């Protein structure tokens, strides 16, 4: 067949295929995905879709017919088993598909609880795919007791949905506080308060020792010795980049499939984008788990596969919805040494600095602060802390060079 083969029909895969066509590529494009459905967006899985407020059809990134219209061959329910970089083939269902260029956009794999502590019991769910949500949906009935393991965004969002639907929610976070890896104490405090207000039993510094039950989960023992009765368990303890296929094919991986600034892997003709990659960033390597990165990197890589030669520069942004809180994040707070709070009437924003250099902002019900912070970062401007901290200052002045 030849042409361009894309492995992974998710957020990045869909963007990459579309961008190839938008750039005028008229060779064969084959988009192969192991899930049985066309590319869809994952964020609503732990938000509006889980809550029952977003219809299934509205998850799909594009109507399925668009792929045929754009002459993109969509192979669904088809796992790529192997890549042969010398023969330039991928194996699907035992058959070899030839490529001229290959893009790996395989996403992430949720980390599961080990079977030794009950991770394989019936009623224990991860929150990654549409199939995961559809499998757990019937359990979301008023009064059901759910244990959420992990206080990152996904666990917290799922806990918020469960609580809104009237379930009895316990959330355990092994680290000393929720969102420890990704957000400041200030942001975590606002989020924790919302959960507590909504009746979630949120326990920090307490891990899961083991799950109990005969075949199906019925209980949990926590690291502090507490025993809980549970009807089901949601596991949100992180993800790892889906690199197995690449590693077996001999591609260099380093916290993700290692790509250069153009998105090229260590194998000639093989490119990668999205959650599964780590790319050069400020002298190190960065892996992002976000829709923004999946789309922007995939589009950059598509253009580069056609010869654009433009390095990918991320402008990270992210969001999370919990109860009536809309958290919007711009930038990366890695290495921050100071957080400046801007208290508004309706919301609050937390501005991260490293040696007085503005890095990132978490805006909670403060869309204007988010917009300004994002623009400041994109324009390479500064956000002096005294201006930010003064609630009467006009943030827009930060956008004047």
Ligand X SMILES: Cc1cc2nc3c(=O)[nH]c(=O)nc-3n(C[C@H](O)[C@H](O)[C@H](O)COP(=O)(O)OP(=O)(O)OC[C@H]3O[C@@H](n4cnc5c(N)ncnc54)[C@H](O)[C@@H]3O)c2cc1C
Residues that bind ligand X (CB under 6 A): 7-13, 32-35, 42-43, 45-46, 79-80, 105-108, 127-128, 154, 242, 245, 274-276, 289-292, 294, 318-320
Name which of 12 and 330 has its Cβ closer to ligand X: 12
The least CB distance from residue 49 to ligand X, in Å, is: 9
d(CA 26, CA 31): 15
Name which of 40 and 352 has its Cβ closer to ligand X: 40
Nearest of 232, 218, 123, 117 to residue 174 by alpha carbon: 117
For the chain, the helix, strand and coil percentages under 3-state DSSP, each to the nearest 5: 30, 30, 40
Name which of 36 and 63 has its Cβ closer to ligand X: 36
Cα Rg of the chain (Å, integer):
22
Cβ atoms of 190 and 364 closer than 8 Å: yes
The least CB distance from residue 13 to ligand X, in Å, is: 6
DSSP 257: E
d(CA 374, CA 372): 5
Tokens for 203, please give them: 């326990």
* E strands in 189-337: 201-204, 208-212, 219-222, 227-229, 232-235, 239-241, 257-258, 270-272, 277-281, 284-286, 317-322, 325-331
Q: Which residue is nearest to ligand X (CB)?
A: 10
The least CB distance from residue 108 to ligand X, in Å, is: 6
Name which of 127 and 235 has its Cβ closer to ligand X: 127
The least CB distance from residue 172 to ligand X, in Å, is: 19
The least CB distance from residue 73 to ligand X, in Å, is: 14
Sequential DSSP letters for 62-107: S-HHHHHHTTEEEE-S--EEEEETTTTEEEETTEEEE-SEEEE---
Name which of 2 and 36 has its Cβ closer to ligand X: 36
Cβ atoms of 233 and 149 closer than 8 Å: yes
Cα 264 to the center of its chain, rounded Å: 22
Helix (H, G, I), strand (E, B) or coil at 210: strand
The least CB distance from residue 78 to ligand X, in Å, is: 6
The least CB distance from residue 386 to ligand X, in Å, is: 31
Cβ atoms of 216 and 123 closer than 8 Å: yes
Name which of 76 and 385 has its Cβ closer to ligand X: 76
Name which of 8 and 151 has its Cβ closer to ligand X: 8
Residues contacting 76, CB < 8 A, separation 6+: 9, 33, 35, 36, 37, 38
Name which of 38 and 123 has its Cβ closer to ligand X: 38
The least CB distance from residue 100 to ligand X, in Å, is: 19
């Amino acid at each position: 067949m030849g042409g361009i083969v894309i492995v992974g029909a998710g957020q990045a895969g869909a963007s990459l295929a579309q961008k190839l066509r938008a750039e005028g590529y008229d060779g064969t494009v084959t988009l192969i995905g192991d899930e049985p459905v066309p590319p869809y967006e994952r964020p609503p899985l732990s938000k509006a879709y889980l809550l029952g407020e977003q219809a299934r059809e509205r998850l799909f990134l594009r109507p399925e017919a668009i792929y045929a219209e754009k002459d993109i061959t969509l192979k669904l329910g088809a796992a790529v088993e192997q890549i042969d970089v010398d023969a330039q083939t991928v194996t699907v269902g035992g058959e070899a598909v030839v490529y001229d260029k290959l893009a790996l956009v395989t996403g992430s794999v949720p980390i599961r609880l080990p079977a030794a502590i009950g991770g394989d019991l019936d009623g224990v769910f991860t929150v990654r795919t549409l199939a995961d949500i559809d499998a757990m949906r019937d359990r979301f009935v008023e009064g059901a007791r759910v244990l959420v393991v992990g206080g990152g965004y996904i666990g917290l969002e799922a806990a918020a949905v469960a609580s809104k639907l009237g379930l009895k929610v316990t959330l355990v976070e092994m680290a000393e506080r929720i969102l420890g890896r990704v957000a400041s104490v200030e942001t975590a405090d606002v989020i924790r308060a919302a959960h507590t207000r909504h009746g979630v039993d949120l326990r920090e510094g307490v891990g899961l020792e083991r799950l109990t039950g005969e075949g199906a989960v019925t209980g949990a023992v926590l690291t502090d010795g507490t025993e809980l009765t549970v009807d089901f368990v949601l596991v949100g303890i992180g993800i790892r980049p889906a690199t197995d296929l690449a590693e077996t094919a001999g591609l260099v991986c380093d916290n993700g499939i290692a790509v250069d600034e153009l998105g090229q892997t260590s194998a000639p003709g093989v490119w990668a984008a999205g959650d599964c990659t780590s790319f050069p960033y400020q002298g190190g390597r960065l892996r992002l788990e976000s829709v923004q990165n999946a789309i922007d990197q995939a589009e950059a890589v598509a253009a580069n596969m056609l010869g654009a030669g433009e390095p990918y520069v991320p402008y990270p942004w992210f969001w999370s919805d919990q109860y009536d809180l809309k958290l919007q994040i711009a930038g990366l707070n890695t290495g921050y040494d100071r957080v400046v709070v801007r208290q508004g009437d309706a919301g609050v924003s937390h501005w991260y600095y490293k040696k007085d250099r503005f890095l990132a902002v978490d805006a909670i019900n403060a869309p204007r602060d988010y917009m300004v912070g994002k623009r400041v970062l994109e324009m390479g401007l500064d956000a002096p802390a005294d201006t930010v901290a003064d609630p009467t200052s006009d943030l827009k002045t930060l956008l004047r060079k």
